[in-house]
Structure 1
Amino acid sequence: MSFRVQRAIAPLAFALLASQPLLAAPAPTPAGATGFRLGTLQLFALRDMDNVVPNDGSVFGVGVPKPEVSKVLQQAHAPTDRISLSVDALLVRMPGHVVLLDTGLGPKIGGSLMASLAAAHVRPEDVTDILITHSHGDHVGGLATRDGALAFPKATIRMSATEWSYMQAKGSKALVETIRAKVQPFKPGAEVVPGITSVPLPGHTPGHSGYEIRSGNARLLDIGDSAHSSIISLARPDWTIEYDGNGAQGRANRKALLAKLAADHERIFAPHFPYPGVGFVEKTGEGSYRWAPALPR
């Protein structure tokens, strides 16, 4: 099931998401835990919620005539009146660590992350490390329970130092205070846990980070919110997305990242691409790409 949030997830403040009026009552997204191997590691893509935004020029293709956006959707055999996005997270099991990358919208919004974790046979107290790509509500909302307590009481919460400063200035003050004692900021590019290295990808937020996971010769990059729509963000990475705090920097980062991913044929996890969000970016033309979903065999 899907829900639509007017103006969807705001780019500048965590609290704005929860305060947005719903255009339709949200229905719970079924739990999902899709397991796959990366080298010797066990990973799970975890469902949290689905989100649908209107194709009205307010989010995707800002400043672009609506027929041009509709044409891109039509060419991909997708509905032209709306853009569907997933809200997902990634779990990595490794010796000594159970690592969760982002936490979804959280129980106050109706996220299914906890049920998806249970489907992967993981309890909240099992999680040792939480890696945050950035501090928007659909990535940090699940850090707290419905009553405002720590959702993962034994986990160290890691995000870039720049993003932690940004969250303290722009995010939910209640959530900041809840997690403050558990946060360990890192410098961009640091190895945050053994085998997982942060990748600075600014533009969406000042300290937005991806995470590259390696096991032997196998690797996978969690791209965070460098790209949102598996159709529009790839076909036209030069278009502005309203979610990006710095539109010009967001476009530049997206174009450079997609070009590198296509050239290197590196597998990615994209939390807003169709669940389970694992696959490759393939070049289709000069500055344009397409999504090729593919779980490791």
Structure 2
Amino acid sequence: MHTIVALHDAQFVRPNDSKIFGVGHSPEEVGEVLKAAGAPTDTVTLSVDALLVKGPKRLILIDTGVGGALQQSLAQAGYKPEDVTDVLITHSHPDHIGGLVKDGKLAFPKAAIRMSSAEWAFAKKNGQLEDIVKTIDGHVKTFKPGANVASGITSVGLKGHTPGHVGFQIVSGKEKLFDIGDTVHSSIISLAKPEWPVSFDNDVAGGERNRIDTLKKLAQTNELIFAPHFPFPGVGHIQSDGDRFKWEPTLTSGQ
């Protein structure tokens, strides 16, 4: 059996300027979507979170945030960085791998770092990640989407946001939790307007296809998911809302 804890790392507050969400649409259009959800219309807020999975023999961290409060959250959960045996990476954007390195050294010194082979190749070409790549090189073990990466954890290909973007399906007994990575970002805009471009997506068209296809599937299956940028702790269900979608959180705390 697994024990799963959501760990908070940071929070991003972006201006509603159509440069990230609703690209090609006016801030007024984006503001109407936010207003309908009862959210502020001048900003878009994203949480940055990770998952900690405690198995019988391994302590697995899925993503590492930007290196904000994650270590503090880990300590609050009762663990030290050296307790982590594996770090699974959904993709190589700085808000997911930034916490791999602290003070120029491995933040989780005893952990194997796992990411898809396509994503590792993508990361090594990103000049903004040069220092991180240099530090973790030699500690990364790659896999192909669909691979079982740990006991009860299977990788799921979700490319579009980045070339090697994956999610992780966690199975513990009869219970399941699907970490969908950055398939969706905003619990409001990404669900109300999944066809709107997101500048974070490396492949805008591919990101849109993956977002819509995954949301349709999740609404049909009603499976429990973890969305690392949704309001903490980001655990809940995607539901259909006419021809759109809505978020139904199931937890109000990290565990």
Q: What is the CA–CA distance in structure 2 between the aligned matches of 1:207 and 1:89, rounded to whole Å? A: 18
Identity of aligned residues (%): 54
Select which of 109, 118, 123 maps to 1:153: 109
How many angstroms apart in 2 are the aligned matches of 1:174 and 1:270? Answer: 27
Which residue of structure 2 lines up, in the alignment, with residue 37 of structure 1? Answer: none
Alpha-carbon shift at residue 65 of structure 1 (Å): 2.3
Q: Distance in 1 between matches of 2:43 and 2:124?
A: 33
Whether 1:77 aligns to 2:38 is: yes
Instruction: Specify the code of the residue in structure 2 equivalent to 1:201.
Output: L
Alignment of 1:125-274 (within 5 A): 125-145=82-102, 147-170=103-126, 171-274=128-231
> What root-mean-square deviation, in Å, do the aligned CA atoms of Structure 1 and Structure 2 show?
1.2
Q: Identify the residue that residue 63 of structure 2 maps to in structure 1.
A: 102
Partner AA of 2:18 in structure 1: G
Of 168-177 and 236-245, the range deviating more from structure 2: 168-177
Deviations 1:227-252 (A, max 9, x none): 00000001111000010011000000
Matched letter for residue 76 of structure 2: A
Q: How many Å separate the matches in 1 of 2:50 and 2:76?
A: 13
State the number of aligned residues: 252
Q: Where does 1:37-48 land on structure 2 (aligned, <5 Å)?
A: 40-48=1-9
Q: Please point out which of 231, 250, 253 is paired with 1:294.
A: 250
Any idea what SS the aligned residue of 2:197 has? coil
TM-superposed deviation, 1:218: 1.0
What's the offset of the Cα at 1:283?
A: 0.5
> In structure 1, how many angstroms separate the alpha carbons of the residues matched to 2:219 and 2:174?
18
Query: Is the counterpart of residue 56 in structure 1 residue 17 in structure 2?
Result: yes
Cα deviation for residue 183 of structure 1 reads 0.4
Which residue identity lines up with residue 151 of structure 1 in the other structure?
A
Aligned AA (1:206): P
- Tell me, in whole angstroms, the C-alpha distance in 1 between the residues paired with 2:44 and 2:134: 34
Determine the C-alpha separation between the residues in 1 that align with 2:199 and 2:131.
26
1:93 to 2:54 alignment? yes
Opposite residue 17 of structure 2, the aligned amino acid is: D
Q: Which runs of 5 or more residues in structure 2 are unaligned?
A: none
In the alignment, the residues of structure 1 paired with residue 26 and residue 129 of structure 2 have an alpha-carbon distance, to the nearest angstrom, of 35
- Partners in 1 of 2:239 and 2:15 — Cα distance? 26
Give the whole-Å Cα distance in 2 for the aligned partners of 1:41 and 1:191: 15
Gapped regions of structure 1 (runs ≥ 5): 1-39
Counterparts of 1:262 and 1:83, CA distance in 2: 24
The match for 2:70 among 113, 117, 123 is: 113
Per-residue Cα deviation, 1:11-54 (whole angstroms, up to 9, x for no partner) = xxxxxxxxxxxxxxxxxxxxxxxxxxxxx321110010110011
Query: CA–CA distance in 2 between the matches of 1:124 and 1:181?
Result: 19
Displacement of 1:295? 3.1
Residue 66 of structure 1 deviates from its aligned partner by: 2.2
What letter is aligned with 1:255?
Answer: I
